[in-house]
Structure 1
Amino acid sequence: MRRSGIRRSGIRRSVIHRAVLATAAVALAAGCTAQAGGAGGGAGGTVSPAPTSASAAPGSSAPSTGATPSGDDKPSSPAPTASATSEKPQPKVLMGDGSESEQVRELQARLRQIGYFDRAPTGFYGTMTAGAVKSFQKKRELPQTGSVDEVTWQKLVAMTHRPTADELKPSTTNKLDTPDPRCMTGRVLCISKESRTLAWMIDGKVVSSMDVRFGSENTPTREGTFSVGWKAKKWTSTIYHTPMPYAMFFSGGQAVHYSADFAARGYNGASHGCVNVRDKAKLADLFEQVKVGDKVVVHW
């Protein structure tokens, strides 16, 4: 009986062993089918492998292995931010070469107030305006661009006052200088060789003004205090045979009169000693106001 029991026990262990081997073979076959078939799998679909001890359960963090990445697996340096790579923003340019506007006229008037622009504002931004702006920028230790940016404009505005109508559109291209003391009383044609202007003044007040041109070195305009000796609305020089409209004679043959040549060529020419005026309309109006006997002062 004992020998028979041992035999049956051995048979049972053999059957169990064969069953375990058969189960393992089926499991192995199922795993190969999933790998070969990929997402498509076999007829029974994909079999998911059992999670390993390193796999993270849903909702949990993956365990750290403690290994240090190497080669291409090393973490790259963080990309620089925009603030680190972008350059410092430049001030916005408001006016520059070729600009033409009322703001340019204001710019020129403000520069003129502090001695950087020596003529009447035109509203056009050319080389002379650019040069004046550069000089202003250099004095204030700003970048010498010759263009007006927001920083340059704010500094200029802070140093000057809002231009008046006469400063924006003065009656002469050339800036009037301080009147000679002899011009401060009575009715006077106050003529400055320094500023090349004529100011019609009554009791120290400038009523009107205009640009003028003088004689050359060979035929200079005389300086001093004179008076209007006589007037001629239409006159032609008896020496040079050239027209002298609206002539007001003050010293021999020298007179204040309109000059078409001055109007056309500006200061590239000169008179034969007379005081030339290039604004015909202004002079025509002045001619009607001036009386014989009114004072004339020609000075530097």
Structure 2
Amino acid sequence: MLWSRGDSGRDVRELQARLRQVAWIFHGPTGTYDEPTVEAVRGFQGKRGLPRTGVTDSTTWQRLVAMTREPGRWELYLMGGQPADAPDARCRTGRVLCVSKSSRTLRWMIDGRTVSTMAVRFGSEYTPTREGVFSVYWKSRHHVSTLYDSPMPYAMFFSGGQAVHFSADFAARGYAGASHGCVNVRDEGAVARLYGQVRNGDKVVVHW
């Protein structure tokens, strides 16, 4: 046995990062061998005809290593799953969508109080999500991108064609993909509630 429930450390991070590469985990890495990790290992083992123990033994590890690549620092520490960091100072007054690139989270805040928090992802290096202070200028419930011909439900536009919206691709593939610059939300129920609360003119802060 190499690692099992309750273990923690860099080796567990690498295990989780490699499980993400083959789409068995969509959060973290957290560095803690928690219940989602146990379930992911069980799923990976079952798919490959190994005993579904949820414990990472040398056979499971060797099979996973053969199917994946060495994860870099970004995959080990910066891909999301972290709790929301402290809100930017610009988010502490009024009605604000406070978007953190470092923790990959969106906080919906009213007068300094966090109403809800959700996981988000951003544009690729070629179509980056703009940083700064913006305002929601248009909401479109059933929007479809004219540029990319892709659905953007619950779109809340804040900078040119960039919007906060639900992404079915994010829900399915996690951080393996990226947006074309928009702030993608993977939880459709959460973004639907957010869409119902946000008004045109509400502030959007995108920061590191």
Q: Is contact 1:118–1:175 with CA below 8 Å preserved after alignment?
A: no
Q: Find the aligned partners of 2:123 and 2:105 in 1 and give their Cα distance.
A: 14
Could you tell me how far 1:125 is from its partner in structure 2? Answer: 5.5
- Deviations 1:119-172 (CA, angstroms, capped at 9, x unpaired): 8995346499xxxxxxxxxxxxxxxxx9xxxxxxxxxxxxxxxxxxxxxxxxx9
Instruction: Indicate yes or no: 2:170 matched with 1:244.
Output: no
Q: Secondary structure at the match of 2:144?
A: coil
Instruction: Indicate yes or no: 2:173 matched with 1:265.
Output: yes
Unaligned runs of 5+ in 1: 1-95, 108-116, 129-145, 147-171
What is the 5 A alignment of 1:57-68? none
- Deviations 1:162-205 (CA, angstroms, capped at 9, x unpaired): xxxxxxxxxx9431001100000000000000000000001111
Q: Is contact 2:128–2:181 with CA below 8 Å preserved after alignment?
A: yes
Aligned with residue 288 of structure 1, among 181, 193, 196: 196
- Deviations 1:58-115 (CA, angstroms, capped at 9, x unpaired): xxxxxxxxxxxxxxxxxxxxxxxxxxxxxxxxxxxxxx72x5xxxx6xx9xxxxxxxx
Q: Is contact 1:183–1:297 with CA below 8 Å preserved after alignment?
A: yes
What is the 5 A alignment of 1:217-236? 217-236=125-144
The TM-score normalised by the length of structure 1 is: 0.45
Q: Which has the larger radius of gyration?
A: 1
Aligned to 1:91: none
Query: Are residues 181 and 219 of structure 1, via their aligned partners in 2, closer, same or farther at CA, if it must alter by over 3 Å?
Result: same
Unaligned runs of 5+ in 2: 9-28, 41-55, 57-79
Instruction: Indicate yes or no: 2:84 matched with 1:185.
Output: no
Q: Find the aligned partners of 1:124 and 1:239 in 2 and give their Cα distance.
A: 37
Q: Secondary structure at the match of 1:219?
A: coil
Instruction: Give the 4+ runs in structure 1 shifted more than 2 A.
Output: 117-128
Name the Cα RMSD after superposition.
Answer: 2.7
Q: Find the aligned partners of 1:195 and 1:185 in 2 and give their Cα distance.
A: 21
Q: Is contact 1:247–1:258 with CA below 8 Å preserved after alignment?
A: yes
Aligned to 2:35: 123
What is the 5 A alignment of 1:28-177? 97=4, 99=5, 118=30, 123-124=35-36, 126=38, 173-177=81-85
Aligned with residue 163 of structure 2, among 250, 255, 262: 255
The TM-score normalised by the length of structure 2 is: 0.65
The alignment-based identity, stated in percent, is 63
Q: Which amino acid aligns with 1:193?
A: K
Q: Is contact 2:104–2:121 with CA below 8 Å preserved after alignment?
A: yes
Q: Which has the higher strand share?
A: 2
